[in-house]
Structure 1
Amino acid sequence: MVLACEAPERAAAICSWCGEIAVLELAEAWSDHAFQFKTCCPAAHEDVCAGMAEDPAWARDLLRHLGAEVLLGHGLRRVADTGCGQLLLDWKLEVRPVSFARAADFVRRHHTHNAAPTAWRYGAAIVNGSTLLGVVMIGNPVARGLMGRGTLEVNRLCIRRDVPRTLAWNACSQLYGWAAREAEVRGFERIVTYTRADEEGGSLRAAGWNRDAQVRGRSWSSPTRPRTDRAPLIDKHRWSRALKPRHPVPQPAVLPAIMPLTLDAAA
């Protein structure tokens, strides 16, 4: 998709490079975040591009002035530098609803070492403009000791790796933060997740999570219940975030102990 936009009317100025009337317009913008200027001469084009690379804040304000946000319908977060001499339109990230089927398919295609969960309680996607960056899937805790205690678990969080990393900046933190807030709204008191021991967890810390345990890697299979391990058997860190629900999830009633009926008791 190719779009075009001209700059708002302004007093004519003379280009210091070519001596003609200065021209600076947002000529084209594509859905892959690339864009192109129209200038009066090649030297002016190089000058503008160099200024944008040196001053991202000025670059963002310039593109807003040229109508990029109105043209494409997204809020501009910044102008991102890929490090290879290319500048991209980096839109404000948005968390959006996603179906279980689409989220599971995304995990199957993009997660590096884990399969998609077979069920969930809820989840969401995160987008940069029209680009789907990742998904988060939240369900019941896998560990038996955490079940039924007002706790949820982020079972999968997956960010695709086939887009420039600069466009996915802060995406993990936003998804972890959203998952915790949504769990709180639903009445849960705690949310947990696990990362590999060789991962730092900076996104979790930025979202207000704390590392509270180290879990030794082991197989889920046992002689009494043989199972196929679907994930690498490595040590992991458990992270959690305490929540303050307005309406706690009701706990199941504890049934009173009943003495077994015997023939002697019946007599």
Structure 2
Amino acid sequence: MALPQEACPYCGEAELIEILEVWPPRDFQLDTCCHGVHEAAVQFLSENPRAAAQWLRAKGLEGLTGRRVRRVIDDGSGQLVLDWRLTIAPVSFSTAKNFVAPHHRHCPAPAGWRFWTGIFNGDELIGCVMVGRPVARALDPARVVEVNRLCVRTDIAPELPWNACSQLYGWAAREARKRGFQRIITYTLESESGVSLKAAGWTIEHKVKGRSWDTPSRRLPNASPGLNKNRWTPES
């Protein structure tokens, strides 16, 4: 025998609050018995982002979508959306290159690289990393690789790419080891905090005085800015 449902404190009918629909990339809609319950649910979801994710899991969200949700967030317009667990997955050469052009803060896409990957929030590409030969000619490219470009989207709610940079740096270090390289390095401007690198277990190994790679003997019109930099490598 089915147990009777509790009465809704707002409308007096059997209380109803379920997931009605989920559609890409991160929108969802609730089905409720009345407006009062809907307003209460929205308030709960907006004030308790991680508890909201647990509640949505209990309601069967991940069974409906096949994805893991980590939070519910405000997308900046007052709309609550789903923040999915980040997933690292391969992307094509052209996809990675086209991603860097509009999203990297101060460098264009490199001319080539050895390996790369993307990171997704749900179905949406939100970041990528490209690892190639070291720019400094004194470093042996047979033993050392460099994270030449890493960027994430800044045109979306900042919670969505949260931790993406650290995950990409971690992936790059693991992939370099798998491929037999002895070291992997990357550079940041001295003015940058390197918080994502620190979170991924990288440390500063050298401070580099700024200069441009564009020289009379080797013209590089798209060279990085000649500012002081820090060179990082993963902790051993």
The two structures have a TM-score, normalised by structure 2, of 0.92
Quote the residue 1:165 is aligned against. 158
What is the rounded CA distance, in whole Å, between the counterparts of 2:9 and 2:128 in structure 1? 49
CA contact (8 A) 2:71 2:83 kept: yes
Cα shift readout 1:218-263 (whole Å, capped 9, x = no counterpart): 12233333432432222211111255xxxxxxxxxxxxxxxxxxxx
Runs of 5+ consecutive residues of structure 1 not aligned to the other structure = 1-8, 244-267
Quote the residue 2:125 is aligned against. 132
Partner of 2:112, secondary structure, is coil
CA contact (8 A) 1:219 1:229 kept: no
Quote the residue 1:39 is aligned against. 32
Partner of 2:172, secondary structure, is helix
The two structures have a TM-score, normalised by structure 1, of 0.82
CA contact (8 A) 2:21 2:30 kept: yes
Matched residue pairs, number? 235
What is the CA distance between 1:51 and its match in structure 2? Answer: 1.6
CA contact (8 A) 1:183 1:191 kept: yes
- Which of these two proteins has the greater Rg computed from alpha carbons? 1
CA contact (8 A) 2:213 2:224 kept: no
Say whether 1:196 aligns with 2:196: no
What is the CA distance between 1:83 and its match in structure 2? Answer: 5.8
Superposition RMSD on alpha carbons, in Å? Answer: 1.9
Query: How do residues 1-267 of structure 1 correspond to structure 2 at under 5 angstroms?
Result: 11-82=4-75, 85-148=78-141, 150-242=143-235
Counterpart AA for 1:194: Y
CA contact (8 A) 1:194 1:236 kept: yes
Runs of 5+ consecutive residues of structure 2 not aligned to the other structure = none
- CA 1:32/1:225 → structure 2, altered by over 3 Å: closer, same or farther? closer
Counterpart AA for 2:80: L
What is the rounded CA distance, in whole Å, between the counterparts of 2:195 and 2:163 in structure 1? 10
After TM superposition, where is structure 1 displaced by more than 6 Å over at least 4 residues in a row?
none
Partner of 2:159, secondary structure, is helix
Partner of 1:166, secondary structure, is coil
- CA 1:223/1:232 → structure 2, altered by over 3 Å: closer, same or farther? closer
